[in-house]
Amino acid sequence: MAILWDQKNKVFSLNTKNTTYQMKIDKFGFLLHTYYGEKINNDASYLIVNQDRGFSGNPYDAENDRTYSLDVLPQEYPFYGSGDYRTTAFDVIDSNNTSGCDLRFESYEIIQGKYALSGLPASYSENNKAMTLVVNLIDNRLNLKVQLYYGVFEDEDVITRAAKIINNSDKTITLSKALTANLDFLTGDFDLIHFHGRHAGERTMERTHIEHGSFSIGSRRGTSSHQHNPFVILAERDTTEHFGNCFGMSFVYSGNFECTAEKDQYGQTRIAMGVLSERFNYALEPNESFLAPEVIMIHSNSGFESLSHKYHNIIRHNICRGEYKLKRRPILINNWEATYFDFDGEKLFNIAKQASELGVEMMVLDDGWFGSRDDDNQALGDWWVNEKKLQGTLKEVSERICSLGMKFGLWIEPEMVNENSDLYRNHPDWAFVIPNKKPIRSRNQLVLDFSRKEVVDYICESIFKVIDDAKISYIKMDMNRSISDVYSAVKGNPSEGKILYHYMLGVYDFMERLLTRYPNLLLEGCSGGGGRFDAGMMYYSPQIWCSDNTDAISRLHIQYGTSFGYPISTVGSHVSTVPNHQTGRVVDFNTRGIVAMAGSFGYELDLNLISDDEKEEVKKQIEDYKKYWHLLHNGKYYRLTNCEEDNQKTAWQFVSEDKSEALVQVVKCDTHCNAPAEYIKLRGLDADVAYELDGNLYYGSTLMNAGLPVDAMNGEYKAYKIHLVAKR
């Protein structure tokens, strides 16, 4: 059984194939967290050592027992008011403006199947095999209920958490903090692995030791952000790629978030994740509830590699949805870097024609096709086709491109508005603008108030009309600024946190309506590249434009960091021109192809402008992508080098599920005269099976333990691939 309830000891054990997650209702009804890690069989609460700790208060129930303090005990959902002075997960302000609550166990329910979260993305279990535990906590004074949800995916080694807060009183209660998940560790010395970045430089891995005090990452930008990804790993200090204990937390949410890791006065570690509590102040009216979005937790006792495999698996199979969830996506060409705003119907057709002759399967028309959008200062919100610029209707343009045997895709940015647009002129109150304050502009655009249904309705209506009138198989949904000036011109003037949470619900609603109306549509997420690259978006878009930086060498770092928490199939990755538009770097066509292939593959340049030799390379790359797609997207992904430490080479590998085939890709990042030899050790092969390489046979054991020499290639940024096939 995945969920065990030990009535005698009042212990819940959530068991997956390899892990146990345990909590206990103690003698006073507090919910303690007793264990998370490799599978165990005992009630782990014997590990808790109670001592009289100075300045750590005792709940009244403990009477004269000074050894009982929630300031020290490991807890499941720590709340302010319990005498716990560490980072808490939950904090409320009652109608008398007083903070402090008292949550005690009330009841529980075990349900076959996985809970869903209305209006929010969450993992799902198609075969209903996953199980749900609901633990109800109650504060009797406030008449407030906290439902903790746990999803248990036994075979996948995944535990998910979410929470619902319900105000059963007749007064308004303000949630000043309502995080989703908290983990407490009695022992261990930990690092936090987090993925920071910036526009065009997302998800750079960084490892920070958790010292006494707390360390936080998060986003205040309204999106999950380029700056900090909502995926982290708490790892014991000796944990490496292939060794050691680590715990992942992935937030299935695309808006503001926080994640805090703290080492307390006794060296115990706490980590908590959820919606950002700064300016949150979510007013819960009587009978109103708040859903804290899901966190997906995975433990690995054998390092980051196996943790990543488990995240890849759950996101690919239990988060992503739709026709293209597991199917090969069309190889696309996008006109953005080829033309920017400078195009017309004929130019687009010529790009598509050349691309189709070389084997590209879909043409994506990026920004600039609507309203008066000839630059990025105007027209967002005016979702009508600029037929003059396109030299025809979108139906004509799309049909002409489809007549080449291609599919056709379109770019949109539904959440935005320019002041120079008909939409803004007609509905200035639909944008986030604070009365009597000039708003912060970014890319000269403002943000539409997607927390309001009428705004989402209008945008749906105008964009659906465009899609209905043309032949569209794919939508790239962009979002190009951080949110500011959060003010909703609706009655009641909610807090910034409440507006932004409902804003995200509006964005999710938009995508859900889009996918319901066009069930075969491929939706690619984007926020100036990877500014909203999170598991929440992946529920709607199985691929996300990974970064606006298309430089293959920059992409090595970005894609390396991304690979820790997200499957390769989600990584939108294109071959672009050189010198690269973002970095000015010149990299081989072959290298650009190899790096882009470790993702959802496409092109982002005018293929009319490349040499005949390069055109032949395009044909070969497309052939290769089709040939190796089953490995690239369905195989297991192994990082063979640490991209942040090894500045000589970056190598990675894909291995088929049955280990009969593998693809190794290597990029040389530096070049030297008379250089020392370099080696890579392969992973994931069958040790006892021989694999054929260049006519020679090498056992898996040899390739994994002795390795292979890296080709000594002369010249900068060269790359190559090795395809290994088992000879059984």
What residues line the site for ligand DGJ (CB under 6 A)?
A: 336, 366-367, 376, 411, 478, 480, 526, 528-529, 545, 548
Residue 28 to residues 43, 105, 138, Cα–Cα distance (Å): 17, 9, 13
Instruction: Tell me the closest approach of the beta carbon of residue 368 to ligand DGJ, in angstroms.
Output: 8
Phi, psi of 508 (to 5 degrees): -65, -40
Active-site pick, 337, 534, 617, 686: 534
Name the residue nearer to ligand DGJ (CB basis): 219 or 582: 582
Q: Which residues contact 387 (CB under 8 A, 6 or more apart)?
A: 393, 394
What is the bridge-based pairing of β-strands 362-365 and 636-639?
unpaired
> C-beta of 319: minimal distance to ligand DGJ in Å?
22
Closest separation in Å from C-beta 74 to ligand DGJ: 43
Q: Which is nearer to ligand DGJ, 308 or 559 (CB)?
A: 559
Contacts of 38 (CB under 8 A, 6+ apart): 18, 19, 20, 245, 299, 301
246 vs 379, beta carbon nearer ligand DGJ:
379
H or E segment at 507?
helix 496-517
614 labelled catalytic:
yes
Shortest Å, Cβ 392 to ligand DGJ: 22
Angle between helices 453-468 and 496-517 in degrees, nearest 10 = 30
Q: Is 534 a catalytic residue?
A: yes
Task: Identify the active-site residue in 156, 604, 614, 686.
Answer: 614
Q: Which is nearer to ligand DGJ, 202 or 686 (CB)?
A: 202
Residue 317 DSSP label: H
* DSSP β-ladder status, 474-477 and 522-525: parallel
Q: Using CA atoms, how far apart are residues 521 and 472, in angstroms rounded to an integer? A: 8
Q: Which is nearer to ligand DGJ, 306 or 559 (CB)?
A: 559
* Torsional class of 516: left (φ above 0), alpha (ψ -120 to 50), beta (otherwise): alpha
Q: What are phi and psi of 676, to 5 degrees?
A: -65, 155
Task: Report the alpha-carbon distance of residue 239 to residue 245 in Å, rounded.
Answer: 6
CB of 526 to ligand DGJ, least distance (A): 5
Q: How far apart are CB 343 and ligand DGJ at their closest, in Å?
A: 12
Strand 246-251 with 231-236, pairing: antiparallel
- Cross-strand pairs, 269: 185, 263
Q: Where are the extended beta strands (E) located within 459-570?
A: 474-477, 522-525, 543-545
Instruction: Give the residue closest to ligand DGJ by C-beta.
Output: 367
- At closest approach, how far in Å is the CB of 367 from ligand DGJ? 4
How many angstroms separate the CA atoms of 389 and 396, rounded? 13
DSSP state of 677: P
Question: Quick one: 24 or 373, whose CB is closer to ligand DGJ?
Answer: 373
Q: Which residues participate in catalysis according to the annotation?
A: 534, 614
